[in-house]
Amino acid sequence: MRLRIGPLSALLLASLACGSVCAQESAAGAERPEPGPEQEQESAPADEAAPPPAVQTIPVAIDEPPPPGADDATHLDTIEVTASRRIKSQRDIPGSIGAIRGADLEAMRAQGLKDYVKLVPGVIYSDQGNEESVPVIRGIATSVGFGATPVTTGVYMDDMPFADLFGPSSIPDLNPFDLERVEILKGPQGTLFGSGALAGAVRYIVQKPNPGVWEGKAMATVSETEQSDGISPVYAGALNVPLFGDRVALRAVGLQREDAGLYDLGATDANGNSLRNDRDADRSQQSAARVLASWNATDALSISGFVFGQKTHHDDYGLSDTGQPESNRFPFASPRDHEFGGGNVLGTYDFSWAKLVAAHNRMRKHNYAAQHNEFGFGTENDNTNEYVVVSRDDVDGFMQELRLSSPEGGTAGGWEWLIGASHLEYGNQSFFYSYLGPDKPDPTSPDQVSDTDKAEAQVFATTAQVAYETALFGEVTARLGKFFEVTVGARDYETELEANTSLCGAQIIALFQTLCYPEHFNDVAKGLNPKFSVRYLHDRNMQVYVLAAKGFQFGGVQVNPPAPGFPESAEDAGYSFGPYKSSELWNYELGVRTEWLDRRLRFDTTFFYQDWKDLQMTVAVPLTGTNLQFAVIANVGRAHSEGVEMALEVLPFTGAKFTSAASFVNAVTDVLFDPNAGDGGVRPGTRLPGAPRFQWASQAAYEHSVPYFTSWVIGPTLTYSYGSVATDQIRPTGEIGDYGTLDARLSLSQPSSRLQPEISLGMNNVTDVRGVTYHVGGNKASDGTPFAFDHFNQPRTTVLSVSLRY
């Protein structure tokens, strides 16, 4: 184990000490108020201005400081979001919606979801150190890792879905540099977003081109993590170019990131001789780019679009079985590649009475992994025989959508409405190959696997799947008198899944007397997703809302073929061996949102109850008349999640801001699952995985001008987050969570300068707390003995960053 405080850490400690003294001696700075609808509402009569409604406030860094001499901010502001497919204030949408500005993400020096989702109570991010990490909202999941069924949280870039509709292969973790904001929508979003957001959604909203303005920014960041030998750099830049006056604009963004790794992986032979000793083996490299364009053809017509791509390579696992970031059970490396990209074209025509939006999106993903599991067969002390699972997925997705909505702000009669139609087509070509035997090159495509290798393989499978979703949707909001606002919406959808699979291997030869067994599947489903909410607007300082909304999830097909005895054994166990159907989730919320002290303090509370039925889960079924088992993907029983979320936001004195949010969640099964299993099944009252009962996150930030150098602004920030213990599976093999981290940051900026320089020095996990973010366990195939591996939260890390913008 390598423990040290590096030069960056020492510099931060000195800087924080200086910052504390300077804060006592300096003149106070101020938070800059955002211009917009908020200020206009301030002077409106109380019975005419709709008070800000229900949101989950997320602790983030305070806004960009004003130039010296600017008036002090006296009110809390809000963010405009498009969670309703229209531009609305974050606090004017009933439901739990969190939003973090891109500028705040950059100020945090966030590099991915794990850096800011921890600030959102009710949401966990089961970090594995790669793009197979899963966000879980309000405990709606049957596993905190990938399985054979879709994940329950949708991931979107603007309105383009990136989560897999079946058989998840990756969840793109977009670097937040030059994002406009990130929106986190809690609860099912089926009415407006379809099947990909059963439990909620994470939406990355990219920064659009700015017509008529030359803009640019650049950032360089280096970080140093204790117990790692290297430095991790990040370089990013963005340039906005206006063309033809304010009619056309281009924006280009690029990023390059390297992670020095942390986990020391290797193996020794039976005599203790080293077979492999790779320090910081989980190194990774990432590159990303976006090009965006906008054209204001006329005052009414605008066309915009972007193309983007991100590539990430991981050298190896980040797993440990020793309590430290190290393991001696990996004689071979397990490299992984994740690529995703695509494009969007958006056309908008603004009629005097409505706005028409036509959108075309394309998404592509490529994932490759050579995953070594020698420990499962007891061969981890042998570097001549390997057990490897090679997988590759190539995904192509298209989405077309047409929407017509009321003018911004609604009609003269106080009505807001939206109608739309969408078509989604999602295709996946994949292959899966596993074998136990002498070390040989790992194939990167199915063509590289010979018939001899297929016959000797444990499994060789190819799959070609296409999913379709066609839907009509709409939503209407009406103001009833002075105090009530009613919203009604629905989505009428039809889904279809076609799949052609081929399964080969020694077991297929034994069962069917043929090398490969092909199969064709087809499944069609229809449904209606309703939504209903009522807001009571007491005055501009208080409101109450109730919300009921339904979400759904794509069904799918069995991975195993209908071998002799499989369908009958599944029926004996109480399951169908045919396609499994969609699961459904009803979400009920009651929210109370209040503002006090002339909008210097907010306190919001949300109570929720979620009813989840037909959960999708992989169960082990005994093959009748034998001691063998096989896997069946089935719809099982019912579960529910209930709890409360609270958020406080306050400006205690000039230049200071404090935010705090907490959640209490009880997510459990309601009926007995899998009663014929050897363990007696999953009992009612079993906690769902990824559902800590308590989460808490707080942030204190302060900004002030520097004595004698008043054009410079110094800003210390402290952030604390905690999550209680949660399980890893619906049949637990271990626990995650039950730790808290403290982050500190000190920034020095000159906002009045033409280049607006900023230097930031921060330390994440100041107290170097060790916690488990991901756990995987099982039994060895060789002798049945258990094994378990953990991935930890990042140890104490010091981050130094310099940025410029104009």
The domain limits of the chain are 14-805
Q: Which long-range contacts (CB under 8 A, 24 or more apart) does 239-243 make?
A: 239/215, 240/209, 240/210, 240/213, 240/214, 240/215, 240/216, 241/214, 242/210, 242/211, 242/212, 242/213, 242/214
Residue 521: pLDDT band with limits 50, 70, 90: confident
Determine what percent of the chain falls in helix, strand and coil, rounding each to the nearest 5: 10, 55, 40
- The residue ranking higher by pLDDT, 373 or 783, is 373
pLDDT mean over 651-677:
93
pLDDT at 54 over 60: no
pLDDT at 46 over 70: no
Distance, CA of 70 to CA of 421 (rounded, Å): 47
Q: What is the largest CA-CA distance in the chain?
A: 86
Q: Which tokens belong to 603?
A: 């306190």
pLDDT of 554: 82
Distance, CA of 498 to CA of 465 (rounded, Å): 6
Neighbours of 711 (CB within 10 A): 13
Residue 22: pLDDT band with limits 50, 70, 90: very low
pLDDT of 7: 40
Q: What is the pLDDT of residues 561-617, one digit of tens each?
A: 787 788 888 888 888 888 888 899 999 999 999 999 989 999 999 999 999 999 988
pLDDT at 39 over 60: no
Residue 675: pLDDT band with limits 50, 70, 90: confident
Q: What is the pLDDT of residues 415-451, one digit of tens each?
A: 999 999 999 999 999 999 998 888 888 898 899 999 9
pLDDT of 557: 79
pLDDT mean over 471-483:
93
pLDDT of 745: 96
pLDDT at 28 over 50: no
pLDDT of 270: 86
CB proximity list for 314: less than 8 A, separation 6 or greater: 129, 130, 282, 283, 284, 335, 336, 337, 338
pLDDT at 45 over 50: no
Q: What percent of the chain has pLDDT over 90?
A: 56
| Highest mean pLDDT of the ranges 63-67, 88-92, 136-140, 159-163 | 136-140
4-13, 92-101, 332-341: least confident range: 4-13
Q: Where are the alpha helices (DSSP H) in 675-762?
A: none
Q: Give, in order, the Cα–Cα distances in Å from 656 to each of 12, 58, 77, 109, 288.
A: 21, 16, 14, 20, 35
Q: Give, in order, the Cα–Cα distances in Å from 355 to each of 159, 352, 406, 704, 766.
A: 17, 8, 6, 44, 50
pLDDT at 70 over 50: no
How many Cα atoms are found within 13 Å in the side-chain-facing hemisphere of 234?
24
DSSP character at residue 448:
G
Q: Give, in order, the Cα–Cα distances in Å from 543 to each of 314, 606, 644.
A: 48, 12, 17
**Does residue 784 come out as left (phi exceeding 0), alpha (psi in the -120 to 50 range) or beta?**
left
Neighbours of 3 (CB within 10 A): 9
The 3-state DSSP class for residue 507 equals helix
Q: Are 775 and 758 in contact (CB under 8 A)?
A: no
Distance, CA of 772 to CA of 765 (rounded, Å): 14
Q: What is the pLDDT of residues 210-255, one digit of tens each?
A: 998 999 999 999 999 999 999 999 999 999 999 988 899 999 999 9
pLDDT at 32 over 60: no
Helix (H) or strand (E) holding 107: helix 102-107
pTM tops 0.75: yes
Q: Which of 59, 288, 311, 60 is nearest to 176 (CA)?
A: 288
Q: Which tokens belong to 782?
A: 């060789």
Residue 73: pLDDT band with limits 50, 70, 90: low
Q: What is the pLDDT of residues 489-509, one digit of tens each?
A: 999 999 888 888 888 988 888
- The residue ranking higher by pLDDT, 625 or 654, is 654
pLDDT of 357: 96
CB proximity list for 135: less than 8 A, separation 6 or greater: 113, 117, 123, 124, 125, 126, 153, 155, 171, 202
Q: What is the DSSP string of 250-292?
A: EEEEEEEEEE----EEEEE-TTS-EEEEETTTT-EEEEEEEEE
| Highest mean pLDDT of the ranges 148-152, 448-452, 692-696 | 692-696
289-298, 367-376, 620-629: least confident range: 620-629
Residue 19: pLDDT band with limits 50, 70, 90: very low
Q: What percent of the chain has pLDDT over 70?
A: 91
Residue 145: pLDDT band with limits 50, 70, 90: confident
41-50, 586-595, 687-696: least confident range: 41-50
pLDDT of 195: 82
Distance, CA of 136 to CA of 692 (rounded, Å): 11
Q: In terms of CATH architecture, what is 14-805?
A: Beta Barrel (2.40)
14-28, 594-608, 656-670: least confident range: 14-28
Quote the mean pLDDT of the chain.
86
